[in-house]
Amino acid sequence: MSGQRQMNAEMPVSLLTTIPNGTVRDVDGRRCIWFDGYWIRHYDVPQNEDVARRELIDQLTKRVFHHTESGINTPGYKLKDAREAFERQTEPRRRRVNAAMLAGALLNRGSDIFNILFELRQRGIEIHYDNELLRECESCFLEAFDLGKQVLHYSGEEGLDELWGEPLKAFYMPIADFYESRYIKIALTMGAIDQIADKLIASFAPLAQFRGIRERIVAYTRAAKLESETMKTDRAIFDVWPEFVATGDELYHFEPLNTGDPLDEACGVEGLDIIREGKKIVEWVAFARVPMPKTTENFLKRCDEYAAHACGRRE
């Protein structure tokens, strides 16, 4: 299965370490590309670069707002109001939110301008690189990227400034280079998912109360990596998404074994809370297709603390 460490483990270690990044081959009936230790589902680069760029910028703009805190999807035509509010705000916490709202307005304004320029080019009107609107579009994306560093993930855990740079990359980069950057990012995402899963397994699989948890963690991890590599326009999503949701539900609703010991019961409740937190973080990472290092680091520490004091009986 593409993107899966189990499949990679079947190959000789010497081969895994010598496969050049960018190698494309069929794996388990799928066309895959190798990047940084993972086979990832491969997609052909669109032939029409103008159309692809316009679609990418539109999709990436929507994606930013899908994964970030609510209330910041400011329409581009409100850019002036958003900037004035940001500039007059002095209280730090409120100013951060105003910065997020201004970033949203800038991103939408840049996307709006790019759509207009695309329509003009479709009508045969040539747009030169020194065009004033093109320069303003670039300026909007650049400032949105800078302000986006102050915007939080919708969980409130940390920022995802990587997402704010994607429309800018789609604006600058040849589409083939953008696709390659996507594979690199997905490999990092898969690595982060595996890191969380490995810690969950190490923390809970040895405990008698959590017998059977390993299989649920492995199944959800596999589905999460498939979800992270699959474009929503791919027909495979109709198989991938149900698997991701179902395995996530199975992990979330896992119940520790009842030993009748009140101390074990308390440890089981705490352990289940940690497992559910891990499930949510994997979900966030897979959705956004970027690692969440601060959130992950805090979670791994919590797992270590639990494992150091776990009162469950080890198998």
* Distance, CA of 122 to CA of 85 (rounded, Å): 37
Percent of the chain with pLDDT over 90: 76
pLDDT at residue 14 above 70? no
Write down the number of H helices and E strands in the chain.
Answer: 12, 3
Compute the average pLDDT of residues 287-314. 85
pLDDT in tens, 145-165: 999 999 999 999 899 888 999
Q: pTM, whole model, 2 decimals?
A: 0.87
**What percentage of the chain reaches a pLDDT higher than 70?**
91
Q: What is the pLDDT of residue 122?
A: 87
Vertex 258, ends 253 and 264: CA angle to 5°?
Answer: 105
Strand order in the sheet with 38-41: 24-27, 30-35, 38-41
User: In the structure, what pLDDT confidence band is assigned to residue 311 with cuts at 50, 70 and 90?
Assistant: low
> If you average pLDDT over residues 130-142, what whole number do you get?
93
Least confident of 177-181, 183-187, 205-209, 294-298: 205-209
Mean pLDDT for the stretch of residues 130-146: 94
For residues 30-44, average pLDDT: 94
Number of residues assigned to the chain: 315
Domains of the chain, residue spans:
5-41, 49-172, 183-309
pLDDT-derived band of residue 10, with 50, 70 and 90 as boundaries?
Answer: very low
Assess contact for 170 and 179: CB atoms under 8 A: no
Work out the pLDDT band at 87, boundaries 50, 70, 90.
very high
Taking a C-beta distance cutoff of 8 angstroms, is the pair 271, 244 a contact?
A: no
C-alpha–C-alpha distance, residues 219 and 224, integer Å = 9
Six-digit token string for 150 = 């102050």
Confidence label for 12 from pLDDT (cuts 50, 70 and 90): very low
Q: pLDDT-based confidence at 4, cuts 50/70/90?
A: low
124 compared with 266, residue with greater pLDDT: 124
Distance of alpha carbon 155 from alpha carbon 109, whole angstroms: 26
Cα of first residue to Cα of last residue in the chain, in angstroms, is: 31
